[in-house]
């Protein structure tokens, strides 16, 4: 009897907890990182767009830049592009499809998992990737933070 009386309260509490969890996940920030040894300390959003959308293949300091897309974590990728150019992934893919035959402009390189990206970032000085802020390691240098 007592348990039934309290049921609505319990339910409300459970829902509240669940909501808090979701918000925590959505609010998880994405950062753009490079190899620790990269000279670039910081990048602006325009510079990121120019690199990730193929306008330039080099950092402002003239060194080659290799932007990297994550293949397996679609959520991360989608969230990144949404934040960067305000477009859904489909549009981004369409953009690249259009430019595919020009040959002059290249889309970002592709790594499968976050671990692959971590590895690439450690090995490749030109690498430029996006990860969740929580997964940033000591081997990464954050050059841009999305608010």
Partner 1 sequence: MINVQGLGFRFSLFLVVAAMLVVLTTAEFFYRATYENEINEANNDIEELFQTVGATASIAAFLEDEDLAKEAINGLVKTNKILAASIKSETLYYQANVTEAINKNTEPRVFVVRHPFMPEESLAEVNVYPNFEYIISQAEKISTDNSYSLYAEALVVGIVALFITYYIIISPMLRVGRSLHKITPGTNERIDMPDYHAKSEIGALVKDTNQLLSKVEEQFTQERQLREEIEFLEKRFRMLFENAKTATVLMAENGIIELRNKAFNDLVEKTGLGIKQDYGELLDELFDTPEAMKSALQEAFARNEFATGEYKLKSSADESAIWVQLIASPLITEEGERYFQLALNDISSRRQELQKLALQADFDALTGIYNRNGGEKLIAKLMRKDHQFALALIDLNGFKAVNDIYGHDAGDEVLIFVAEQLKEKIRKNDVAIRWGGDEFMLLLQADDEDSVQKVVDKVNSGVKQPFYFNNETKPTVVSMSVGVAFYPETSRNLHALIKLADIAMYKAKQNKVSAPDDYLIFANQYRLDDEDMS
By CB under 8 A, name the binding residues for partner 1.
Answer: 46, 49, 53-55, 84-87, 95, 98-99, 102, 104-105
Report, in Å, the least distance between residue 88 CB and partner 1: 13
Residue ranges in 27-113 assigned as alpha helix (H): 45-52, 74-85, 89-99
CA distance linking residue 10 with residue 23, whole number of Å: 20
Which CB sits closer to partner 1, 18 or 55? 55
CB of 89 to partner 1, least distance (A): 14
56-68 exposure pattern, b = at least 16 Cβ within 10 A, e = fewer: eeebeeeeebbbb
- Return the structure tokens found at 105: 């402009």
Strand order in the sheet with 127-132: 109-111, 66-70, 127-132, 30-35, 140-145
Nearer to partner 1 (CB atom), residue 52 or residue 118: 52
Which CB sits closer to partner 1, 49 or 72?
A: 49
The residue (of 53 and 127) whose beta carbon lies closer to partner 1 is: 53
Supply the minimum distance, in Å, between the C-beta of residue 25 and partner 1.
26
CB 85, min distance to partner 1, A: 4
């Amino acid at each position: 009897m007592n348990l039934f009386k309290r049921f609505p309260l319990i339910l409300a509490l459970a829902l509240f907890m669940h909501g808090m969890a979701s918000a925590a996940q959505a609010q998880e920030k994405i950062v753009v990182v490079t190899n620790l040894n990269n000279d670039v300390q910081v990048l602006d959003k325009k510079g990121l767009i120019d690199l990730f959308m193929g306008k330039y293949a080099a950092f402002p300091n003239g060194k080659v830049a290799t932007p990297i897309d994550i293949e397996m974590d679609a959520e991360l990728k989608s969230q990144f592009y949404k934040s960067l150019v305000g477009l859904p992934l489909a549009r981004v893919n369409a953009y690249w499809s259009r430019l595919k035959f020009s040959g002059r402009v290249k889309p970002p390189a592709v790594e499968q998992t976050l671990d692959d990206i971590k590895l690439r970032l450690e090995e490749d000085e030109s690498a430029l990737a996006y990860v969740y802020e929580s997964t940033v390691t000591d081997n990464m240098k954050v050059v841009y933070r999305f608010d």
